[in-house]
Amino acid sequence: MLSAFSLRLAVSGVSPVLDRVREDVALDAASIGVLAMVPTLGFALTGFLTAAAMRRVSLEALLSLASALAALGLIARAVSSAPVPFLGFSLLIMIGLGIGNVTLPPIIKKYFREHIAPLTAIYSMLLGLSTAAAPFFAVPLADAAGWRFSIGSWAVFSLAALVPWLLMWVSVRRDGARAASSVDPGAARAAVKPWQSPIGWGLVLLFVGTSSNTFSMFTWLPRVLVSYGFTEHQAGLMLSYYAILGIPVSLVVPLLVRRVTRTTGLGLTAVALYALGYLGLLLWTTAHWGPLDTVWVWITVFGFAQASFPLALTLINARTRTTAGAGALSGFGQGAGYLAGCIGPLIFGVLFTWGGSWWASFGYLWLMLLALTAGVVLTGRRRFLEDRRDLDRALQE
C-alpha cells in the first residue's frame, strides 16, 4: 500500500508549480515538452527491463530498488538548478516508479492469490489518491517553503515504502527462496510470450489509449482551462478534482471485473465517457448549469472514464494463471503501451501550438480512443495468457 501511494506523487506534483520551476531552472518550451513525456517514457523503458529482470531478481528486491530510485531522484531533482539535471533526475524518478508499476501486480498475485480483486481495488484507489493529493498540496507547500520543498517532499513516501521491502528482501534471501520469488514453478512450462497472444496486444492497446488520454489531461488540463478564462488556482483545483474522480472507479472496477464474464461493456462505457466529456469541455466550458460552471460536469464525465486504467491493471491478473504470467504480461503491456503512449502529451501540445485551437489536440485523443476500443475488445473475453490453445490460435491468426 505504501508503494502504491508513492507511485503517482511525482507525476502530478510538478504541473501546479511549473511556472515557478521554469523561472528558476530556465526550462524552455522544448524542455517542458520533454518533461511531459518523461513519465510515460520512463514507464515504457522499465516495462521491458523489469519483465526481463523478474527472471533473475526477486520481486521484493525490485520493489526495494524502485523505492530507492524514486526517493533518490525526487531529492536530487528538487535541488537541481539547470534543465539537463532536472530532466535527468525526473527520468530517474519515473524509472523507479515504472519498476513499481510492473512489479506490484505479480506481487499481489504471489501473496494474495485469493484476494486479488479487493487488493487491486485498494492499490488502484491509492494510485488515484496520490495523483490527486500531489497537485492539491503542491501550491500550499510551495507557498510555505518554496517549490523545491514542494516537489521534493514526496520522497518521504518512497523512503517509507523502501523499509518493509528491504526487510522482505532480506527475509527471502535468508530463507533461500529467492528463485521462488521471481518465477513460480509453472513458469517454465507456461512458456509465456505475451506478444504471441491477443491478450498481450489487447493490454498494450489498453495502456496506449489510457496513458495518452490521462497523461495529456494531467499535463494540459490546467492550460486548457486557463485559456478559457479560469484562474490558475481554479485550474489547479479542477485538475485535483479530475484526479480524485479516479478514486471511486478504482475501487469499483476490480470488483466488477471479478463478477462479470466479459469486460467489453465496462471498457466501452469508459470510451464513451471520454468522448462525451471532451466534447462538452470544448463546446460548453463557460456555460452554466444552475450556480455551477458546466466545466465541472464535463470534467466529471471524462473523469469517471479513468475506469479504463484500473481495468487494465486488473486484467493483468484476471487474464493470467501464474505469477510468472502476470509478470510477463505486466511488463509487456505496460512497456509497449507506455512507449506508444508517451508521445501523447507532446502531440497534444504541438497540435495546439500549430493550429491555435484545442480541437486538433482533442481530435488526437479521440483517435487514441480507437486504440482503447480495440484493446477493450481483445481483452474482453475471459481467457488466460498461459493457455496453449490461445497461443496457438494467435499464431495461426
Q: How far apart are CA 35 and CA 188, in angstroms?
A: 40
Helix (H, G, I), strand (E, B) or coil at 8: coil
Q: How confident is the model at residue 263, as a pLDDT?
A: 95
Across the range 180-186, mean pLDDT stands at 45
Q: Where are the domains of the chain?
A: 2-396
Q: How far apart are CA 96 and CA 343, in angstroms?
A: 20
Across the range 307-326, mean pLDDT stands at 90
365/223: higher pLDDT: 365
Helix (H, G, I), strand (E, B) or coil at 13: coil
Q: How far apart are CA 203 and CA 210, in angstroms?
A: 10
Residues 111-133: pLDDT tens digits?
988 888 888 888 888 888 888 78
User: 290 is written with which cell numbers?
Assistant: 444552475
Q: How far apart are CA 339 and CA 380, in angstroms?
A: 23
Q: Could you give the C-alpha distances from 365 to 82, 89, 116, 216, 238, in angstroms and in order? A: 32, 29, 31, 8, 19
What is the identity of the amino acid at 350?
Answer: V
Across the range 202-222, mean pLDDT stands at 91
Provide the mean pLDDT of the chain.
86
Q: For a pLDDT cut of 90, what percent of the chain falls above it?
A: 41
Most confident of 45-59, 206-220, 380-394: 206-220
Q: How confident is the model at residue 396, as a pLDDT?
A: 54
What DSSP letter does each residue of 105-121 carry, written as one string? HHHHHHH-GGGHHHHHH
Residues 77-94: pLDDT tens digits?
999 988 999 999 999 999
Residues 17-60: pLDDT tens digits?
888 888 888 888 778 778 877 887 888 888 888 888 888 888 89
Task: Choose the CATH number for 2-396 among 3.40.50.300, 3.40.1030.10, 1.10.3660.10, 1.20.1250.20.
Answer: 1.20.1250.20
Q: First vs last Cα of the chain: how many Å apart?
A: 40
CB within 8 Å of 372: residues ≥ 6 apart? 205, 206, 208, 209, 210, 213, 267, 270, 271, 274, 308
Helix (H, G, I), strand (E, B) or coil at 260: coil
Q: How far apart are CA 204 and CA 44, in angstroms?
A: 11
Q: How confident is the model at residue 332, as a pLDDT?
A: 92
Eight-state DSSP code of residue 39:
H
Q: How far apart are CA 66 and CA 3, in angstroms?
A: 9
Q: How confident is the model at residue 184, as a pLDDT?
A: 47
Q: Hunting for cell 489510457 — which residue is that? A: 210
Q: Hunting for cell 465541472 — which residue is that? A: 296
Across the range 196-216, mean pLDDT stands at 92
Q: How far apart are CA 393 and CA 198, in angstroms?
A: 9
19/352: higher pLDDT: 352
Helix (H, G, I), strand (E, B) or coil at 207: helix
Whether 321 contacts 186, CB under 8 Å: yes
Q: How confident is the model at residue 210, as a pLDDT?
A: 94
Q: How far apart are CA 71 and CA 161, in angstroms?
A: 10
Q: How far apart are CA 114 and CA 233, in angstroms?
A: 44
Given a cut of 60, whether residue 282 has pLDDT beyond it is yes
Across the range 359-385, mean pLDDT stands at 94
Across the range 4-27, mean pLDDT stands at 85
Residues 252-266: pLDDT tens digits?
999 899 888 899 999
Given a cut of 50, whether residue 185 has pLDDT beyond it is no
Q: Which of these, 290, 252, 318, 313, lies nearest to 118 by C-alpha position?
A: 252
Whether 251 contacts 124, CB under 8 Å: yes
